[in-house]
Amino acid sequence: MAIWAQTPHRLSNPNPNLSLRSSLLLAVAVSICLVWGTLFLVPFHSARNAASTFSFSSANISTDRFFLNLRFPHRRVLAVKTDPLRVRIDQIRKQAADHAGLASAYASYARKLKLENSKQLRLFAEISRNFSLLISDHRHLLEDVSPIDEPSLRRFERDVKDRIRAARTLITDAKESFDNQLKIQKLKDTIFAVNEQLTKAKKQGAFSSLIAAKSIPKSLHCLAMRLMEERISHSDRYGDPESPPPALENPRLYHYAIFSDNVLAASVVLNSAVKNAKDPSKHVFHVVTDRMNLGAMQVMFKLKDYAGAHIEVRAFEDYKFLNSSYVPVLRQLESANLQRFYFENKLENATKDTTNMKFRNPKYLSMLNHLRFYLPEMYPKLHRILFLDDDVVVQKDVTALWKIDMDGKVNGAVETCFGSFHRYAQYMNFSHPLIKQKFDPKACGWAYGMNFFDLDAWRKEKCTEQYHYWQNLNENRTLWKLGTLPPGLITFYSTTKPLDKSWHVLGLGYNPSISMDEIQNAAVVHFNGNMKPWLDIGMNQFRPLWTKYVDYDNEFIRLCNFGA
């Protein structure tokens, strides 16, 4: 820059020889600079570029050699000569290796997704294998020691391009299928996780429902306590008569048996039966409870006039023949193992046998639940009796039952089987040889809750002795698990007369889909299940069928805050 800056000044110099000499010196300096740059800078720059280029190529060759399991000699930067064909063949091999790996990855992913289209899986695997075979067949082109034949190189390039084109076409066609399979797989995983949570929630819900069903509501406890307080305060008003009324043993009247420790539930059964009876004075109700609830029951049924109906209230302890030496259940209930089974309220214990969870209720330890097998001995002068559970509501006059021809059968009950449901196989262990030999697994089950018993036929068939025989055999619960229905099915096997289904409609304590037409046509509706109408978990659509028979005029019921 200094030279060019001085040039105008020197051109204006009047001495022409000095200007010419300066121009010659400048030209010589520029020439020397150009020569030095050509000799030193350009070769150094070329060598640097070549080293960088072939170092990258060598790295690529090393990666692809690992994928294709091929061996190539390492190249040193100083030994490399510029070879366009070698660069070209490296690029072709790299593209082949990349697409071979891509096809192999799709094949592996297809196996993971378990694609229904096995043809795609085979095509991906075949394309990956063809790429490997193609490179293996042209190994001589990839080795540095052998000269490159340009026609062979062109064939190799053409074959690689054909396979790349086929691989890309297959990937394009299969992409949507792979995406859908991925979505399906994720959806399946989500569904599985949700099902696991649902199963856990169902078990916990069933356990909570079981606890709720076992509990005694505060209002119900209040009612029993207030009635018992009234019984103690005015014992002279509620004492038993010196001699029982003759109607209690009159076989020409209509007799009912109600066994319960729930004073409110028992009163609803009795209220509904009396209200719908054509002539209540011909109906006799035998209410049996335990000693603890006897006073409350006596007060409840003496506070109201039941239109001339006869009511007997007793404790089962008053029946002296019911002792552990005669009754197998009382003897078995002394077992610590059985009591632990019923009273250990642990989630893992309650959910390990979910099919029988509802039977893990301590009410099955109560003798009140087994009195139904001793009706002939409890009422020796009666010929027929209608057994009612305390969770039923009588909606019609049921005296027509006493006119039914029982055909010598003992038990009149509504059958509950439809299709393969509620058959004997569901209640008993047919892997036991004795059960398998004596009973038909396809025999139709029936319902407890409203059962009409011919006590004369019972005595003739010796059904109580049959019950004792099977109950003794099942002390370790190998014939059936729990509850009173299985021994009932065994005891009255082949001695049960099916009744019309309109007599007894079940499921109001667990099945919300029962039609109202079916309920309205029923003589008796049964709130069997955990959702009893006196519990908060009861189903609201059926609760009015029960609450309409609650005596809300009773001062003790009002004091205990029973909602109408």
Q: Give the model confidence (pLDDT) of 460-503 as tens digits.
A: 999 999 999 999 898 877 898 777 889 999 999 999 999 999 99
CA distance linking residue 421 with residue 517, whole number of Å: 23
Tell me the mean pLDDT in the region 538-559.
Answer: 92
pLDDT at 58 over 60: no
Q: What is the pLDDT of residue 1?
A: 42
| Mean pLDDT of the region 371-399 | 96
Q: Which of 95, 93, 117, 91 is nearest to 170 (CA)?
A: 117
Number of residues assigned to the chain:
564
In a domain, 285, yes or no: yes
> Of 50-59, 233-242, 258-267, 275-284, where does mean pLDDT reach its minimum?
50-59
pLDDT tens digits, residue range 187-232?
888 898 899 899 888 878 777 777 777 778 889 999 999 999 999 9
Residues 424 and 472: beta-carbon distance below 8 Å: no
CA-based nearest residue to 488, from 360, 371, 363: 371
Residue 504 within any structural domain of the chain: yes
CB count in 10 Å sphere of residue 113: 16
Over range 362-379, report the average pLDDT: 86
Range(s) of the domain holding residue 467: 226-560
* Count of domains for the chain: 1
What spatial distance separates the first Cα and last Cα of the chain, rounded to whole Å? 111
Residue 481, domain CATH: 3.90.550.10
| Residue 96 counted as domain residue | no
28-42, 128-142, 547-561: the lowest-pLDDT one: 28-42
Identify the residue whose tokens are 């409609």: 505
Is 237 within a domain? yes
Domain membership of residue 510 (yes or no) is yes
For residue 169, tell me if it sits in a domain. Answer: no
Tens digit of each residue's pLDDT (9 = 90 or more) over 81-127: 556 777 777 787 787 777 777 777 777 766 666 544 566 667 777 77
The answer to whether residue 274 sits within a structural domain is yes
Residue 259 has pLDDT above 70, yes or no: yes
Query: pLDDT over 90 for what percent of the chain?
Result: 43
Region of 494 (left: φ > 0; alpha: ψ -120 to 50; beta: rest) is left
Cβ-proximal residues to 304 (8 Å cutoff; 6+ apart), any chain: 551, 554
